[in-house]
A and B are shown apart, each in its own frame.
Chain A
Amino acid sequence: MSYLKLLTVGLTAAFLAGCSQPTIPDPEPSDTTYGDSGASTDAMGDGDLGAGEYIEDPSAGELGMVIYFDFDSSEVRPQDQDLVSRHALQLGENTRLRVRLEGHADERGSREYNIGLGERRSQAVRQLLMIQGVSASQISTVSFGEERPAAFGSSEMDYAQNRRVEIRYTN
């Protein structure tokens, strides 16, 4: 569970004093502090029966969750096809399961273009899942480009670990 800490801090008025250009109004003026997102409550008392929640398929933990890609490629390699098929089977058997495909790129080149390359990889896995019968509504994609590296170095080995799609079950 990832908790989001987020706050905004106003700049000093000094910086902006004297600006005369009309500016775009805030349609939704908001608090300067934003709440946790993605947080959930965990308390379980003895007395009340709380609302239940679905348990993640334990076999999902045994499946590999990361697919790696060659340089400048968004093709799922032959040795990873079977892994994707096993996820497809699992998602097909339990249509309540939802999956988020997180695409990543290595650090070389421009950041927003790398977002595009990461998305191409998550879409390649998505297409492969859908061809095998997984419903589009079970899948979402996101690309982090080079922003969330698995390895922080700048060697070919680090780059190979960073060119990846992570498969995350979200319920």
Chain B
Amino acid sequence: MRNKLKLSLAILVLAAGSSNAELVIDVQGVAQPTPVAIVPFGWQGSGVEMPLDVAAVITSDLRRSGRFEPIPESKMLQKPTSGADVDFKDWSFVGVEAVVVGSVVQTGENAYTLQFQLFDVFGRKQLVGYRMPTSRGTMREAAHRAADMIYEKLTGIKGVFGTKVAYITAAQQGQKRLYSLVVSDQDGENEHTIMESNDPIMSPAWSPDSRQLAYVSFEGNRSSIFVQTLRTGNRFKVSSKPGINGAPSFSPDGRKLVVTLGGTEGNLDIYTLDITSRQLQQLTTHRAIDTEGTWSPDGRYIYFTSDRAGGPQIYRIPATGGTPERITFEGSYNARPRLSPDGTRLAVVHNDRGNYRVAVMNLARKDILIVSGGQQDESPSFAPNSDILIYATRQGGNGVLETVSADGLIRQKMASGRGDVREPVWSPFPRF
């Protein structure tokens, strides 16, 4: 039986401990989320309150995953802040399966120690405990990392709460459109506009080390591909040939991009581009539209969209060149391939009886599962744990973002105050 869980915007904003969340999440149900308790963290330091309500961030992360139902503070019979004070009988009575306790201790002007412990209520034992140094600027990141460790212990799946999302927004600015390339935490917090322009921006792509984004910009009424370093804001133009320069995507080693070039004659083909030497290798030569190339995680193949058989379908070609092989056969329209980082699944935009929806193909079984429910859904991108996808859909004429578990069961809408939001891309895991 499926249990629909709806959360109001106000509750979520409070739970996230913030009033300016760019993206607000609305969870659409899962079968029986597990009840857990995240006890308010203890605080030792100057000032009445800790810089960030860490328990609220962890609560919000676990709730948004759709797999957990954190109980409200009012139902807690005790509020311990360290493991020694946890009374398993009380928690068993309340009916939670796991309890998280922790504290933040100030150790310097801008230095803190965040620690937490996760307990299995029935097994009466600690599952994980961790202590990390942090600062006011990194405390939210530390809280997400704690949530990731808790999530992985309880589900066996790596958490993605510490990851980022990049996306494009478009809004009216007087007589002009303003296009922005934005990077935020995966929960919509901590948003940064890293590039904006009155001409279209599209097709953002993360470098494998999360330090750079490639994208297409139409400044000067021509398309060019840029690679921008996030920390500095510096960017360089890697391709600006006559005609189309589009659809960049990084190789797994970060040294190359797969790109689409059209040339003067407008025949779109797939090329690889060495970022440092600018050396190009042409992979496809067909008269059809060949575009939207993406590397397989093992680096061996490039998957791409081609309409060489009529409508667009997904093909793959060895990354060093060779003969294209058709991958999708189900339906008249399959485009914009993206592989799960574990290499087992392929996400595409699929025409489902007149609706453009996100479909996930199991590459071993070859079957297709439609995981979105809109009419104009597009740009699916896997989270680095391969378990969740983010994509763009339409609501009231505007683009909004949704996430869905790869099995299609847990779907969340992320509302935005930013006008038209599109082309979300999930970052790789951060490296510590």
Q: Are B197 and A140 in contact (CB under 8 A)?
A: no
- Asked whether any CB of chain A lies closer than 8 Å to the CB of B379, the reply is yes
Q: Are A21 and B376 in contact (CB under 8 A)?
A: no
- Asked whether any CB of chain A lies closer than 8 Å to the CB of B66, the reply is no
Q: Are A2 and B194 in contact (CB under 8 A)?
A: no
One of A6, A14, A25, A30 near B137 (C-beta < 8 A): A14
Q: Are A112 and B221 in contact (CB under 8 A)?
A: no
- Asked whether any CB of chain B lies closer than 8 Å to the CB of A3, the reply is yes
Chain B residues, Cβ within 8 Å of A140 = 222, 242
Chain A residues, Cβ within 8 Å of B260 = 112, 115-116
One of A110, A120, A136, A147 near B264 (C-beta < 8 A): A136
Interface size class of A (residues with CB under 8 A): 35 or more
Q: With A and B bound together, what is the CA distance between A119 and B290 in angstroms?
A: 12
A77-96 CB mask vs B (1 if < 8 Å, else 0) is 00000000000000000000
Number of B residues, CB within 8 Å of A: 77
Q: Are B275 and A8 in contact (CB under 8 A)?
A: no
- Asked whether any CB of chain B lies closer than 8 Å to the CB of A49, the reply is no
Q: With A and B bound together, what is the CA distance between A153 and B255 in angstroms?
A: 41
- Asked whether any CB of chain B lies closer than 8 Å to the CB of A161, the reply is no
Q: With A and B bound together, what is the CA distance between A38 and B210 in angstroms?
A: 33
Q: With A and B bound together, what is the CA distance between A78 and B189 in angstroms?
A: 53
Residues A3 and B223 in contact in the complex (CB < 8 Å), given A13-B231, A113-B336: no
CB distance from B229 to the nearest CB of A (A): 6
Q: Are B236 and A8 in contact (CB under 8 A)?
A: no
The segment from B30-38, B83-91, B120-128, B198-206 found at the interface with A is B198-206
Chain B residues, Cβ within 8 Å of A19 = 209-211, 430-431
CB nearest neighbor in B for A148: B200
Chain B residues, Cβ within 8 Å of A51 = none
- Asked whether any CB of chain B lies closer than 8 Å to the CB of A4, the reply is yes
CB distance from B186 to the nearest CB of A (A): 12
Q: With A and B bound together, what is the CA distance between A5 and B432 in angstroms?
A: 36
Chain A residues, Cβ within 8 Å of B221 = 2, 38, 100, 102, 142
Q: Are B305 and A24 in contact (CB under 8 A)?
A: no
- Asked whether any CB of chain A lies closer than 8 Å to the CB of B119, the reply is no
- Asked whether any CB of chain A lies closer than 8 Å to the CB of B423, the reply is yes
- Asked whether any CB of chain A lies closer than 8 Å to the CB of B212, the reply is yes
One of B192, B208, B255, B266 near A119 (C-beta < 8 A): B266
A145-156 CB mask vs B (1 if < 8 Å, else 0) is 101100011100
Q: With A and B bound together, what is the CA distance between A8 and B229 in angstroms?
A: 10
One of B227, B233, B247 near A9 (C-beta < 8 A): B233
Q: With A and B bound together, what is the CA distance between A12 and B202 in angstroms?
A: 23
Q: Are A11 and B222 in contact (CB under 8 A)?
A: no
Q: With A and B bound together, what is the CA distance between A141 and B245 in angstroms?
A: 12
Q: Are B430 and A113 in contact (CB under 8 A)?
A: no
Q: Are B291 and A9 in contact (CB under 8 A)?
A: no
A interface, over-half SS: loop
Chain A residues, Cβ within 8 Å of B303 = none
Q: Are B192 and A12 in contact (CB under 8 A)?
A: yes
B213-229 CB mask vs A (1 if < 8 Å, else 0) is 00000111111000111
One of A9, A27, A120, A154 near B194 (C-beta < 8 A): A9
- Asked whether any CB of chain A lies closer than 8 Å to the CB of B383, the reply is no
Q: With A and B bound together, what is the CA distance between A136 and B264 in angstroms?
A: 9
Interface, chain A (partner B; CB < 8 A): 2-21, 23-30, 32, 34, 37-38, 100, 102, 107-113, 115-117, 119-120, 122-123, 126, 136, 140-145, 147-148, 152-154
Interface, chain B (partner A; CB < 8 A): 137-138, 141, 164, 177, 183, 192-200, 202-203, 207-212, 218-223, 227-237, 242-244, 246-247, 254-255, 260, 262, 264-266, 268, 275-276, 289, 291-292, 305, 307, 312, 333, 335-336, 349, 351, 356, 376, 378-379, 394, 397, 422-423, 430-432
Closest 3 A-B residue pairs measured CB to CB?
Answer: A116-B289, A147-B200, A10-B233
Between A and B, 13 residue pairs with Cβ closer than 8 Å are A4-B219, A8-B195, A14-B138, A110-B356, A113-B291, A113-B292, A115-B246, A119-B266, A120-B289, A122-B266, A140-B242, A141-B266, A148-B200
| Other A-B pairs beyond A6-B198, A21-B209, 19, CB < 8 Å | A3-B198, A6-B219, A7-B195, A8-B234, A11-B233, A13-B231, A23-B254, A26-B232, A28-B237, A38-B220, A109-B312, A110-B312, A112-B203, A112-B247, A113-B291, A115-B244, A119-B243, A143-B244, A148-B200
